[in-house]
């Protein structure tokens, strides 16, 4: 496994790099454009602007000082809706090397340690490697619908992991 460091909390450049990782991957593989990358950057910046380390989690995977992956837990509505897993991405440099599983495990562990009853995420049909990783960690598909929150219509999927 490469020398990867999992860093907790925001570091300089993380918003731009996480948006870049999403923008590049989703443009190349799904044809998502500027709308999607801008949405990631805007929403992530808003999240980090209200980030509360007692409730929220933000982790980046760094190799050689460069961010190559991320995952977030938004706990702002955890009591009513569950903790929201967001902005999970791993670069081509680290994909398939266990870093994604490590990030997901870190996020789930954070939720367990904070007593959250449930974790959920939104994704879309066709991201088979990510789906496999979610299901391997206990998430189950609970809802599907057509939607365009990604900038074009896809079959959106909601996965949930009950914790207690």
pLDDT in tens, 86-114: 999 999 888 889 999 999 999 999 999 99
Which residues face 158 on adjacent strands? 122, 143
CA 53 distance to own-chain centroid: 17
- DSSP letter for 9, please: S
Nearest to 20 by CA among 43, 42, 39, 37: 37
At residue 164 the predicted structure's pLDDT band, cuts being 50, 70 and 90, is confident
Would you say residue 9 has pLDDT above 80?
A: yes
Give the domain range for residue 69. 4-121
Domain of 20: which CATH number?
A: 3.40.630.30
Whole-number percent of the chain with pLDDT over 70: 99
Position 2 pLDDT exceeds 70: no
Q: Strands, E, within 22-153: which ranges?
A: 57-63, 66-74, 83-90, 118-124, 140-147
Tokens in use for 27? 């443009």
For residue 61, tell me if it sits in a domain. Answer: yes
Whether pLDDT at 1 is above 60: no
> Does residue 158 fall inside a structural domain?
no
User: Do residues 83 and 159 touch, judged by C-beta distance below 8 A?
Assistant: no
Collapsing DSSP to helix, strand or coil, 89 comes out as strand
Separation of alpha carbons 145 and 71, rounded Å: 24
Does residue 162 sit within a domain? no
Res 150 pLDDT > 90 = no
Rounded Cα distance between 74 and 41, Å, is 15
pLDDT band of 149, cuts 50, 70, 90:
confident
Give the least confident one: 20-29, 31-40, 148-157.
148-157
Please state the rounded mean pLDDT for residues 75-82. 94
Does a structural domain hold residue 160? no
Long-range contacts, stretch 49-53, CB < 8 angstroms, 24+ apart: 50/76, 51/9, 51/10, 52/76, 53/9
> Does residue 13 form part of some domain?
yes
Whether 143 maps to a domain, the answer reads no
Instruction: Please give the tally of structural domains in the chain.
Output: 1
By CB atoms closer than 10 A (0-12, 13-18, 19+), residue 25 is middle
In a domain, 142, yes or no: no
Residue 94 lies in a domain: yes
């Amino acid at each position: 496994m490469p020398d990867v460091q999992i860093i907790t909390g925001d570091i300089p450049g993380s918003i731009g790099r996480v948006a870049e990782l999403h923008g590049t991957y989703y443009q190349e593989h799904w044809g998502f454009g500027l709308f999607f990358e801008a949405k990631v950057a805007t929403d992530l910046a808003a999240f980090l602007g209200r980030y509360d380390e007692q409730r929220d989690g933000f982790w980046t995977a760094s190799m050689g000082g460069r961010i190559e992956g991320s995952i977030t837990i938004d706990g702002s509505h955890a009591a009513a809706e569950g903790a929201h897993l967001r902005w999970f991405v791993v670069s081509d440099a680290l994909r398939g090397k266990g870093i994604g599983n490590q990030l997901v495990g870190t996020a789930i562990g954070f939720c367990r340690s904070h007593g959250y009853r449930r974790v959920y995420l939104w994704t879309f049909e066709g991201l088979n490697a990510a789906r496999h990783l979610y299901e391997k960690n206990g998430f189950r598909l609970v809802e599907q619908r057509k939607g365009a929150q990604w900038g074009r219509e896809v079959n959106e999927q909601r996965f949930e992991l009950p914790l207690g």
